[in-house]
Amino acid sequence: MENTAQYREVATFAAGCFWGVEETFLQTPGVLSTRVGYTGGTTEHPRYQDVCTGATGHAEAVEVTFDPARVSYENLLKIFWENHNPTTVDRQGPDIGSQYRSAIFFHGEEQRQQAEVSKATLEQSGKWKKPIVTQIVLALPFYEAEEYHQQYLRKRGLPSCHT
């Protein structure tokens, strides 16, 4: 009997406010699901109000579950780089604070290597005049954000955060 189970991998990205980042990945063929939350900090089970203070060390992030037969991790990295400014420290657009930093949280050595190569390639391309400040760090525990944050833009019929 043929195994028809879908193969799944997980990737985690922080690129500013998680609402828009999540929507970008939800529109990607091969992405099976997303969830927004908090990672990269020291506070266990933080709430949104905690993360907003900047004291938890967490970033607003999106955990992306994907089918690597349909979309590669390399392609997800490309989407990540194309959809935010990786040269601003602790800021994306109007959102300021360490919780809005640019970061790739890798799950395993292969993801780490691919992330490092993609960052170096982008730096060498000259697309950005300022240095890329994106962190590439080991994925730490991911704390799912409150339900009202999940698929926030879709639930409200909004195409993006800044409409």
Q: How many residues does the chain have?
A: 163
Class of the CATH domain delimited by 9-147: alpha beta
pLDDT in tens, 106-128: 999 999 999 999 999 999 999 99
Crossing angle (nearest 10°) for helices 18-26 and 73-82: 130
Please give the positions annotated as active site: 17
User: What is the maximum span of the chain, computed from C-alpha positions, in angstroms?
Assistant: 55
pLDDT in tens, 77-106: 999 999 999 999 999 888 899 999 999 999
- The domain locations on the chain are 9-147
d(CA 112, CA 108): 6
- Using only C-alpha atoms, what is the Rg of the chain? 15
